[in-house]
Amino acid sequence: MKLSKFGEKLTAKTGILELMEDLGNALHGKQKMLMLGGGNPARIPEVETVWRNRMEKILKNKDEYERMLGLYTTPQGDDEFMKAIALLFNNKYGWNITKENVCVLGGSQMTFFFLFNMIAGKFSNGNHKKILLPLVPEYIGYADQGIEGGIFTANKPILEYLDDHTFKYFIDFKSLSVTSNIAAICVSRPTNPTGNVVTDEEVQKLYKLAKQNNIPLIKDNAYGIPFPGIIFTKSTPFWDENIIYVMSLSKLGLPSTRTSIVIAKPEVVKNLSSINAIVHLSTATVGQHLVTPLIQSGEILHISQKTIKPFYEKKAKSAIEYFHKQMNNSSIPYYLHKAEGALFLWLWCKDLPITSYQFYQRLKKQHVLVVPGEYFFPGFDESWKHTRECIRITYSQDKAIVLEGLKSIANELKSVYK
């Protein structure tokens, strides 16, 4: 079969495809694999109990189960769910939004595909506009979202050493330039893959920069507050009509519901809903039905802050301490990014003798799955060896799997530097 340009684009080998294939093969293969590469949330018993109880209530309530599975919503989402989202943010943060500012779509991956291609790429007047990533590394799933090629441009970060084996990325505003071909600025907070949280001051600077240039600031909040709340440092939610805020139910422990939430001005919501009607017809309702009462009661905030956040914060601390212990007395110049949120450790191996992709292949032979750093620099065209010296490690798996995997990574790293 001969493919169109669209077909060729979406069937080519990509980082996100390789990641998902690796995970699928590991799940169904005969050999044991230590899966430290994916972004699946951990199974938290207290949270799983919440969802089980909600499903049992839905089954018991007359007609609710049938309505959840048997009725279409509008392309914008379930009315009750959207009202609950608006009320939550208004009450918690003093925002002034209504359901007209809310759109529910089929997961963040689909949302960004709609969003990026809606505002960037080739225009009818012949112009070609791009999404500016003010700081890389950034999410692996962005890289191949554009139907038109080359829709991203990225800014090299500032690296700051915090101690002997810890560093943090900051936005280099001196080199950050918004030209006439920039359609929007996009930043994730916390950032997948590094766990970096851009500071409140950085967010304010990005917002002012976007507003000055009459373009939106897109904030990917898949791991952030108020839910799921996997963020371990100061972070103040901020929104106005120049901001497009994207959230998800996945990291609440509901990845298979494929439910994302967009908060934006009504014009953006209407446009996304129109695309959704054509591509997806309507949005799945299972996630919305499960979560709506918890949003209405505020329980979602309690679960996020009292259960989910401390669970991941403890796991991150344990994983970091264990890895440092495995690397003890080593002269290898390794650094972990400061863990400020999300589900990942970002390991930088300075002056790595091989590429991070080759290191990933070596680890795969040791039955350890990670993700090589090369995939996390979409739109970054400079030759910078740092992009080939990092790997992303997931710490959300069971403790025994994480520790065994980290031990293997440390041993393989020592072998590589010999």
Q: Per-residue confidence at 9, pLDDT binned at 50, 70, 90?
A: confident
pLDDT of residue 29: 57
Percent of the chain beyond pLDDT 70?
A: 96
Query: Which residues constitute the domain of residue 32?
Result: 5-47+303-417
- Closest of 237, 222, 273 to residue 99, by C-alpha: 273
Kindly tell me if the per-residue pLDDT of 23 is higher than 70.
no
191 and 258 in a single domain? The answer is: yes
- pLDDT tens by residue, 34-76: 999 888 999 999 999 999 999 999 999 889 999 999 999 999 9
294 and 310 in a common domain: no
User: CA-CA distance, 210 to 255, in Å (whole number)?
Assistant: 31
> CB-based contacts of 219: which residues, under 8 Å, 6+ apart?
186, 187, 188, 189, 203, 243, 244, 245, 246
Q: Name the domain boundary from 299, 328, 360.
A: 299
Same domain? For 111 and 226 the reply is yes
Predicted model pTM: 0.94
SS3 category, 45 = helix
Instruction: Read off the pLDDT of each residue in 122-140 and give the average, rounded to a whole number.
Output: 95
The reply to whether 218 and 365 lie within a common domain is no
pLDDT tens per residue across span 317-361 = 999 999 999 999 789 999 999 999 999 999 999 999 999 999 999
Q: Does residue 77 fall inside a structural domain?
A: yes
**Shared-domain flag, residues 112 and 80:** yes
User: Does residue 55 form part of some domain?
Assistant: no
- Band the pLDDT of 16: cuts 50, 70, 90: low
Given a cut of 70, is residue 30 above it in pLDDT?
Answer: no
Q: Which two tokens stand for residue 218?
A: 């897109």
pLDDT at 143 over 70: yes
Residue type, 68: M
Alpha carbons 151 and 218: distance in angstroms, whole number: 15
- Residue 78 covered by a domain: yes
The span from the CA of 182 to the CA of 214, in Å, is: 10
Q: Which residue has the tokens 């100061």?
A: 234
Among 270, 299, 328, residue at a domain's last position: 299
Looking at the domain assignment, is residue 54 inside a domain? no
Q: Are 287 and 251 in contact (CB under 8 A)?
A: no
Cβ neighbours of 30 (radius 10 Å): 4
Joined together, the tokens standing for residue 127 give 């112009």
DSSP string spanning 73-86? -BTTB-HHHHHHHH
CATH code of 281's domain = 3.40.640.10
Domain end marker among 299, 332, 348: 299
* Per-residue model confidence (pLDDT) at position 329: 77
The rounded percent of the chain whose pLDDT value lies above 90 is: 84
Q: Give the C-alpha separation, 103 to 38, whole Å.
A: 27
- Shared domain for 352 and 386, answered yes or no, is yes
Residues 139 and 236 both lie in one domain:
yes
Question: What is the end-to-end Cα distance of the chain in Å, rounded?
Answer: 49
Reference 319, options 391, 231, 397, 223; nearest CA is 397
| pLDDT at site 183 | 97
Considering the domain architecture, whether residues 272 and 318 belong to the same structural domain is answered as no
Question: Residue 49's Cα: distance from chain center in Å?
Answer: 25
Checking if the pLDDT of 27 tops 60, the result is: no
- Please check whether residue 211 lies inside any domain of the structure: yes
Report the 3 state secondary structure along the chain: CCCCHHHHHHHCCCHHHHHHHHHHHHHHCCCCCEECCCCCCCCCHHHHHHHHHHHHHHHHCCCHHHHHHHCCCECCECHHHHHHHHHHHHHHHCCCCCHHHEEEECCHHHHHHHHHHHHCEECCCCCEEEEEECCCCCCHHHCCCCCCCCCEEECCCEEEEEECCEEEEECCCCCCCCCCCEEEEEEECCCCCCCCCCCHHHHHHHHHHHHHCCCCEEEECCCCCCCCCCECCCCCCCCCCCEEEEEECHHHCCHHHCCEEEECCHHHHHHHHHHHHHHCCCCCCHHHHHHHHHHHHCHHHHHHHHHHHHHHHHHHHHHHHHHHHHCCCCCCCEEEECCCECCEEEEEECCCCCCHHHHHHHHHHCCEECEEHHHHCCCCCCCCHHHHCEEEEECCCCHHHHHHHHHHHHHHHHHHHC
User: Which H/E stretch holds residue 52?
Assistant: helix 45-60
Assigned domain for 57 exists: no
Q: Tell me: pLDDT of 22 over 70.
A: no
Q: Is residue 66 part of a domain?
A: no
**Distance in angstroms (rounded) separating the CA atoms of residues 35 and 23:** 7
Two structure tokens written together for 336: 């972990």
**345 and 314 inside one domain:** yes
3-state secondary structure of 314: helix
- 198-226 pLDDT tens trace: 999 999 999 999 999 999 999 999 999 99
The answer to whether residue 63 is domain-embedded is no
Question: Based on the domain organization, do 137 and 233 belong to the same domain?
Answer: yes
CB 367 within 8 A of CB 33: yes
Q: 68-90 pLDDT, tens per residue?
A: 999 999 999 999 999 999 999 99
pLDDT at 305: 97
- CATH number (domain holding residue 366): 3.90.1150.10
Number of domains in the chain: 2
Strands 390-394 and 158-163: unpaired
Residue 354 has a CB neighbour count (10 Å cut-off) of 15
94 and 188 housed in the same domain: yes
Q: Are residues 273 and 311 in the same domain?
A: no
| The pLDDT of residue 26 is above 90 | no
